[in-house]
Structure 1
């Protein structure tokens, strides 16, 4: 029978993985939107679109990427991942 500590640890790991996947999807989707809009702006010679999309979505994309990166770092401890070469 699993202990409460093990159950709580598994719940925390599942929540962390779900949040990581959600954050990854959010910042990648925002990145695709930003790059796509900038490509359209370059093709149509619309400088306002190229810079405006970064003004509108750049901060949200950067925050989502940063939070997801920090969560990934924390997960390395939760899941006890080891680097190649560590024993």
Structure 2
């Protein structure tokens, strides 16, 4: 049974967007942690708060969108949840 054109298109579009989202939120998370660590090392509390204030919402948004795309991908590819 062949897949519909829409399903094939969704697969082709969703996976690259998922991968980009994954990279974006991981990079933002690393920058957030490194920025806060630098603030702790130099003893600058405003740096710690400032980095979190600037990056927390974009990082969380990217993570949420990527998580939802992963959920969509699981349906498009008929992935089954592994039972341990």
Q: CA RMSD in A?
A: 1.5
Alignment of 1:22-61 (within 5 A): 22-61=20-59
Separation in 2, partners of 1:56, 1:50: 10
- Partner of 2:24: helix, strand, or coil? helix
TM-score by length of 2: 0.89
- Partner of 1:82: helix, strand, or coil? coil
After the TM superposition, which segments of 4 or more aligned residues of structure 1 sit over 6 Å from their partners? none
Matching of residue 16 in structure 1 with residue 34 in structure 2: no
Deviation for aligned residue 1:4: 7.7
- Give structure 1 stretches of 5+ with no counterpart: none
- Give structure 2 stretches of 5+ with no counterpart: none
For these two proteins, the number of residue pairs brought into alignment is 82
